[in-house]
Amino acid sequence: MNDAEYLDLERLERWRDESGNNFPMILSQTSFKEIAALMANETEPEGDPTDWARETWGDDINQQAWVEAFVSAALPKFQELRGKL
């Protein structure tokens, strides 16, 4: 994991923690574009911050179930990798 990826995932984790008990509801109403902007620390991103994800996963990133699965998988993996640093 490079420094940029670490910071992106750290922002995602902080967003989850700050959402508290409301996190499941907030996540269910959040698009991947919003999550990508959050991870990139951009309030108003230039261009489409999802281009990199669309190249890998296609239009699945537009499905809410995919968004929730991405976050649900990324955060535990981040915690596991951080523990090895």
pLDDT in tens, 49-85: 778 788 888 999 999 999 999 999 999 999 998 888 7
What percentage of the chain reaches a pLDDT higher than 90? 54
Its domain, for residue 59, covers 3-83
If one counts the domains in the chain, the total is 1
pLDDT the model gives residue 36: 87
| Residues 75/13, Cβ–Cβ less than 8 Å | yes
- CA gyration radius, the chain: 13
| Residues 64/28, Cβ–Cβ less than 8 Å | yes
| pLDDT tops 90 at residue 24 | yes
- The whole-model pTM stands at 0.83
If you average pLDDT over every residue of the chain, what do you get? 88
Give the integer Cα–Cα distance in Å for 30 and 33: 8
| pLDDT tops 80 at residue 43 | no
